[in-house]
Amino acid sequence: MSKASHENIVKNVQKLKNLDQIIQNLIREATEAREYAYCPYSKFKVGAALLCTDGTVVTGCNIENCSFTVGICAERCAYGKAISQGKNKFKAVSVVAYQEKYFTLPCGACRQFMSEFGNLDIYVSKPGEDNIFVSDLETILPYQFCLTDNKTFV
């Protein structure tokens, strides 16, 4: 990671106690969802919690498969559950995973998948940590692929 990238991440880190109570709960829900991860190959547990605009929280975890490409990330799991329940408007997502030196942001496929449903706030944490990376989807996925005219980059 470049020094500039590291500095950008550090400036987006906030303390858990300084975040809104709803967001603190969202992070706790993602942490709990992480415990249900099915990851016998990587042993890398990820949990996600998605805050819908109606206040509902829907969680997901990563689910691996021996045919690696058909596994599903925690973020897309949460989105799939929410959409299958008739919800498609979202305010925020929390992602909780553990890498010693880095925050685990959504992968490129998840970022593009999430962009289908609009920009939202993103909160990334390690389990039990007080430091939270705070950003939004458009910042971590600038110039996303889009077929509609509402996002024109000329």
Token pair 């415990």 is at which residue? 35
Confidence of residue 146 (pLDDT cuts 50, 70, 90): confident
Confidence of residue 154 (pLDDT cuts 50, 70, 90): very low
107 is in an annotated binding site: yes
Residue 88: inside a domain: yes
Confidence of residue 10 (pLDDT cuts 50, 70, 90): confident
pLDDT per position as a tens digit, 64-84: 999 999 999 999 999 999 999
Confidence of residue 8 (pLDDT cuts 50, 70, 90): low
CATH number at residue 53: 3.40.140.10
Range of the structural domain that residue 9 is part of: 3-140
Residue 14: inside a domain: yes
Given the residues 29, 75, 129, 138, select the one marked as catalytic. 75
Residue 154: inside a domain: no
52 is in an annotated binding site: no
Reply yes or no on whether the pLDDT at 13 is more than 90. yes
Mean pLDDT, rounded, for 89-95: 98
73 is in an annotated binding site: yes
Residue 121: inside a domain: yes
**Got the DSSP string for 6-72?**
HHHHHHTEEEGGGS-HHHHHHHHHHHHHHTT-B-TTT---EEEEEEETTS-EEEEE-B--SSGGG-B
Q: Is 75 a catalytic residue?
A: yes
Mean pLDDT, rounded, for 88-110: 96
Confidence of residue 149 (pLDDT cuts 50, 70, 90): low
Residue 152: inside a domain: no
pLDDT per position as a tens digit, 19-78: 999 999 999 999 999 999 999 999 999 999 999 999 999 999 999 999 999 999 999 999
Residue 147: inside a domain: no
Residue 145: inside a domain: no
Residue 149: inside a domain: no
Report the domain count for the chain.
1
Average pLDDT over all residues of the chain: 92
User: What pTM did the predictor assign?
Assistant: 0.90
Tell me the residue type at 135: S
Integer Cα distance of 27 and 111 in angstroms: 18
